[in-house]
Every structure is written in structure tokens, then in C-alpha cells.
Amino acid sequence: MGNVTDRSLRILAGLRKGKKLNSLPGMMTRPLMRRVKQSLFDIIKDRVPGEYFLDMFAGTGNVGIEAISRGADKVVFVDNDANCIKAITGNLNSCKFQDKAEVIKSDIILWAVKGAGFYTKIKFGLIFIGPPFKLNLSEYSLNTIDKLRLLDDKGWVICQHYIGEKVPDKLKDSPLAMFRQEKYGKTMLSFYKYE
């Protein structure tokens, strides 16, 4: 992977404000744009300190590492690509955040079936879903979170998705429902919590 910073990913605030994060070459990942990340953390900033945070489809770890910098107690990163896992681990090491993180290499479906059971005892206060655009994985991910009860009763799920992807206002047979949406060009952030 090397020391690739072609997209100039930086931590925006907190313990490692201004720190550059390594990206991946080409279009292997689609990091959250700076203005979208800034807006996201403006919205959730008061909820981050001391929280358990799950970063699904974590890519380079950009969002979860920002959460650690802003005081999250623990962040679990899940991604199925070996290059992404290497990037996340390298970024955590360079930030000296290893003790606040767990990095899991797994396909979300396999993790949901086999690996996530452990976390049903933890519960996450914040869950960020950043699946590849146009693959329509948002609703599946929301259903997985709900089925496994990964979200704390007062927690939030934030789903980043393509503007053309239809996401549910409310999950079927579940109190998990959308309560806010923000649009940034072709990127949407949809916020969910239990009613």
C-alpha cells in the first residue's frame, strides 16, 4: 500500500487533530468527503465521548478514527478487504490508537452470521454504515444491526448512501426508524434510532 495520502485524509478534531491518514490508491475505497465528515461529526459530536462505536464497511478507518480522536471509548472496524484492513491498522498505529480499537476482517454477511454474536452483549451507541455506493447494502445492514440488537436502546445508526438508493423510513417489524436525513451532492446521510 505504501504511504499514500493522495486524498489528504485528515483528522478534523480532538486528540490527533490535523493528523494525516493513509488512503488507498485509485478508487479502491470511497472515503467520506471532508465536508460530509465535518457535518456528520457536527451532528453527533456530543454523543461520541465515552461511546462504543461500530464502523461497518470501514475502508481506511477514516470515520472510526475520527471518533477515537474525539473521545470514543472503543471503536470496532469491520471490512472484508485485506488492503483496507492493512490501511486501518496502519492508521491506528500511526495515531497510537490501537488500545481503543478492534479491527475485524470479514464480509458483513459472514460477520453477521458468525462473528457479531459477541457484540450483542456490548451494544453500540453509534454505528456508521458506509457500504460501497450503488450496491444497495444499506437496508440489509440496518436489518442486520436490528436483528442482532447491536444498537443500544438510545443509540443512533448513521447510514451513508448514494442519493438514488432507496432506504427505509422504518424497518419492517422493528421500532428502528429514520429521524433525519442530510444531502451532500450525490451523498446522503440517513440517521436512525429506536422509536
CATH number at residue 140: 3.40.50.150
Q: Which residue matches cell numbers 428502528?
A: 176
CA distances from 6 to 3, 10, 60, 148, 182 (A): 9, 11, 13, 37, 27
Residue 121 in domain: yes
Per the structure, the count of domains in the chain is 1
Residue 20 in domain: yes
- Residue of 6, 54, 53 lying closest to 29 (CA atoms): 6
Cell matching residue 97: 490508537
Q: Which residue matches cell numbers 465535518?
A: 38
Give me the domain span that covers residue 42.
9-194
Q: Is the dihedral of CA 134, 139, 140, 146 positive or negative?
A: positive
- The full length of the chain comes to 195
Residue 143 in domain: yes
* Burial (0-12, 13-18, 19+ Cβ within 10 Å), 157: buried
User: Model pTM?
Assistant: 0.90
- Residue 73 and residue 80: Cα distance in Å, rounded? 24
Task: Assign 120 to helix, strand or coil.
Answer: helix
pLDDT in 10s for each residue of the chain, 195 residues: 333 333 458 999 999 999 999 887 654 455 678 889 999 999 999 999 999 999 999 999 999 999 999 999 999 999 999 999 999 999 999 999 999 999 999 877 666 666 555 555 678 999 999 888 777 889 989 998 898 888 999 999 999 999 989 999 999 999 999 999 999 999 999 999 999
Residue 2 in domain: no
Residue 1 in domain: no
Residue 54 in domain: yes
Residue 3 in domain: no
Residue 4 in domain: no
Q: Is the dihedral of CA 155, 92, 106, 7 positive or negative?
A: positive
Q: Which alpha helices (DSSP H) does the chain contain, by range?
A: 34-44, 62-69, 82-95, 108-110, 138-147
